[in-house]
Structure 1
Amino acid sequence: MRALVVILGLFLLISNAFGQREGQALIDSLVAELPRTRDDTLKGRLYKRIADEYFFIDAQMALTYAKRGLAHVTAMRWQRGIGVFSTSLARAYSDMGNVDSCMYHNLRALAVFRNMGDTYNMSTTFNNIGVVQENVASNYPEAVRYYLLGLKEAEKQGDKYLMANTCNNVGAVYHIQKNYKKALFYCLKALKLREQLEPSDIYNKAREIANSLTTLGGIYLEMNDTITARKYFDRAVVLSEKSGNKEGLAKVYGNLSLLEGPDFAAAIAYGEKAERLWNEVNPRHILAASNLGNMGKAYLHMHESGYLPKGFSGRPQLLEEARQYLTRAIQVCSENGDVSYKSDFTGLLAEVQAQQGDFKNAYFNFKSYAAVHDSLFSQEEKNKIAGLEGEREIALRDKQIQIGSLELEARKRQQWLLTGGLLLLAAIGALLYRQNRLRKRTNVQLLHLNNELDEANQVKARFFAILSHDLRSPVANLVNFLHLQKEAPDLLTQEAAEAHQKRLTDSAESLLETMESMLLWSKSQMQQFKPQARRIAVDDLFEYIQKFFAGTGRIDFTFENHENLTVVTDEDYLRTIMQNLTNNAVKALKNTDQAMIKWEAKTQKGEVVLSVTDNGPGASAEQLGALFTDNAAIGIKTGLGLHLVRDLAKAISCRISVQPNAGNGMIFSLAIANA
């Protein structure tokens, strides 16, 4: 059972000053604002906002302010205001179980909105009437019919708030029918829509999400998936407390009471929490009756199980407690016109009375329960019809949407063809106009292309030298091994084959690293790739290095940036430099115990200096030559990575220095001007 959806209408914004308050604090601030508000329209909006907030705290006060608001807008002759407050009154009467008054005000509101062509508020009113038909009148076919009418109008508006409310209500009908698959489909759709809502003064996003979580938890509880149900309920409690939603908390606590099951103490504790909240908010609510009945059922189960909680003198006292709770639950059901819960609790009361020896009343109550229970079979058939009817209407609506989409796509294609024809004619004219100008520019462009081809040839020659020197050997080894395996497999023992395969694997991995480095280096040699300088946080660079080498578990990485420095340079170039220097350090530490790599950022003489330190065996001057000399040989063993670092650093004006210390590691420093 759910409260009616609040109609928003024109009552969209009151004041940003109330945005950070919730619950009673928000209501008090709104009420205090009423005497100071002179504008009639603004005062009407204040009445509406106060009534809306009271629905989650005190239904009687919500009714009071809805009546005051209706009188105010009626005096103004504001039609939309009359429709909106009529809906608020309908919601209040629904919570109190007054079906006739509820339907009167809902139909009055619907007539107002229909005359105005207000599809937004029509959607919410349809949904509200569906809630009345479902919760109060138990007429599920009518409920689904009104829900689908509301959903149709909500989809026209594209309003996620309205669509979520309607989907949640349709899911609740399937929940009652125990069609859990359909119930989960619609309720999860509602939750997704509510999570996409933007923060607003009109609705409380946390409260809306909490309502969806409670509904989903109830479905999983009936499916006996208590773990998933508890997860949803726990999240709902947090969000309900955050939003000051007492009604939402009461619903969650009532469900948690059922969830606890055999843990009678916990079940009663949650039930009492829910009872206290319902007494504050709306003691005549149908879920307040449900909670009372479930408390009576829990005490009956205690008596049957032999469990006697503290403070009880004996088992007869448990039966008396069960009788009192069940009697109160039946009374509330009678007040709000509910039949289903009343029948169930009457049957339980008959069982309690029989165990107490009151066989006369037990007989009459059981007879009443049996009569209603027999009539429920016909109601179950209505529920099945509602499910089929709902599915049919949804299928028809989906088909209409599909047809509309196809027609829209056809019109779009026609428009594109017409536009394309016009553009083609324009393009032909432009080409004819530009033809003479292009002829004059052709020679200049050819000359420029020749220069670029010369540069490209130089790069290509350099690449072929690298390929010849560094790539031929591992590939040749692989081919020779494959031939040997194919033509004379008996010549290789299993141990020899495994050794060859390991060497080939190591060679292939080295080859892959070399190819990656060459590709990055070649990119840096091409003039069309220019550095794009921007300000970068050093912490972001350190985080990238940390994530990139996260799998290197045997090395202790540390990063220090005490001054929270930033640099202005090309991020991709600098990342590649840092990655290569770190990779070289990782390779150097391959056979080092207690290996460590430390990145540090500091300022020196107006520059930002990034340094990487390792405790490896160090490097020779020949190995470091590729970092400073263009003529140094390039190869896997002779510093291709350092060539890449050198060229990239030169492109972004980064000065590199190195402090070799054989036997105790290396320190590479990158100095960048502090812009």
Structure 2
Amino acid sequence: MRLLHCTKVSSVFLYLATALLGLLPLAGRAASNGPDPALTQSFDAGLAELVGAIPLAPANPQARLRYGLSMLREASKSRSADKQAAGHRLVGSAHHELGSFAKAAYHFRKALQLDQQQQNQPNVAVDGLGLGNALLSQGDTGQARQVYHLALQSFAQQNSRRGRAQVENRLGSLYAQQRKWGQALASHSRALQGWLQHQDSARAAATLNAIGNVYCQQGAYSRALYYLRKAMRTAAPTDSLRQSESLTSIGRVYRAVGNYDAALTSFKQATRLVPTTAPTVPHAQLYQALAATYDSLGQVSAAERALHQGLVLARRSGSALLLSQHYRALAEVYRQRGQFQKSLVMLTRFTSLQDSVFAQERAAQVAELRTRYESEKKEREIQLLIKDRQIQDATLRRQKLLRNTLAVGALLLLIIVGGLYRGRQQQARVNRLLERKNAAINRQKEELTRLNQTKDTLFSVISHDLRSPLSSLYSLLTLLNIGSLPPERLALHSARLTRGLNSTLQLLDNLLNWSAAQMKGDKIRPERLRLDVLAEEALALLLGDAERKNILLQNQLVVPTLVRADMNMVRLVLRNLLGNAIKFTPEGGSVILTGAQQGTVWSITVQDTGIGIQQADHERVFGKNGPFTTPGTAREKGTGLGLQLCKDFVERNGGQLTFTTQPGQGTAFTFTLPVALAAPDAQPAPATVAAAAG
């Protein structure tokens, strides 16, 4: 959905610039400020405890912000460095929870400078931890790592294992953001050891949750689920906050592997467990993830309800960025439901908030740059007092000019690359759509061609192969009506006509089955059946044909041959294969039916001593290029559909049909069917001879 009009050049530039800064969603994904919430928490719990040690410090971030600003005003009047540092620490923690990371970094840096001047090492460690968190949330991993190491040294000087464990946790999140998986896991493991030594199950569970998220980022989803479930077991049953965090992470893993049903279950459990006192930002993000999962499952109404629940929390959090993400998602949901008026309202709110977010971020970045410049300037004055001030200013100006030039050039380059990338993506989508349309057209063409061939074959068989027997029957009935046919000739013609009608009935049976298969109107009904019984039945039906040609039929299936297949299809396969063998076997020959179990399938072979199949006809036997037929040894006719039907029905029942042949010596057709579990009272069936040479 396009959010800005192309007619306004300034609006387009703002869209591209904010998109590059992560303030607008691209490619259907919600924007995020800072690292993935699955890797880092909105605020470190250990730091929150240390900040909360200040008397009367409120837990609510908005209230804490007001309280901290009031403390700063009072400290400014009394010129108390300790109170000023405490006030900056409170304001920084509140801004961090509210998502204003640049402001949080500014206040933590102020607190760090004041505590360093007072040589207050415990507070220096706390300030360093808070500043590192803010820098990491901004994506400044380089400075964040340096500040974390400073905090780690301060905690080590105090011999504070808990403090070191907190810093190791944050370093693990930093390395994960840099995709340095080995270092991330090592830092989290050291933090986990510290929490376990202190028997702090809550933070141990949080660290296990972080380890699981690192494995999830690597794509090692099985290991991720192992650590996330371990985190749930480690957390106290009453610790609903940690339980909900682990369930949220488990839901993200299932979303990553495409198991949306399992993800939905995890997110629902998390929403039931998350306490009302939980931080509002991750709580709102949980409902965002729940809504996205509902949307993936096509449950748009449920997604809307989840987004409205998250919207309440987003408003309470005071985060304009989080609120704008909810408006953007609601606009998409309303668009899918066809409620375009509501979608437009949400988009309007989204765009207005985007301007506010953009202005806030720019102002915060300006303040951050100003603070960073002042800090660096003071450090240089302390370290380089003997250097000339004018040379120092000139150097700073050159550096600033170069940095700004590079920044502008990089921004323009990113805008160009982004435009080219989006153009290529759009072209690729169009190409994929055309390919799908062409493929659908080709499939329809092939289906129409196949149906047309089926119609032509059906009419051809009806007009040629069925007409002759019916004409003979008509002629015989005409002779009977006029009474001019002697009894001996009547008996001869009756026998001949009976054989012709039997052949015609078999032909019609094959024709109807083949037509049903071609039209895809038949259904497979697999059941457990005895193939040896069906074989005996087929042999009995074909006994008359074999006796007329003096052919020996032998059934060597000596045990109950239990298979799972469609009974009618198997009957047709046996009847056609045996009839085909009789058709192409000369007088005095033999047809043998054998079978053997091969693992999970029964292999059934129909072996004859007939004329065999010529090499040139091998590819045409199963009707690959249309029905193929040749007359039998007694000039029997056929449609060429029997073997084609046999192959189709065998494959539909999970088997295969193959043949081997020697011209002049005979042919063996072999088909396989899945084995069915034997009944407890199954008894072997003796070998039988259906017909013998007279």
TM over 0.5: no
More helix by share: 1
Q: TM-score range by the shorter chain?
A: 0.3 to 0.5
TM-score, normalising length: structure 1: 0.39
TM-score, normalising length: structure 2: 0.38
Answer with 1 or 2: which has the greater Rg: 2
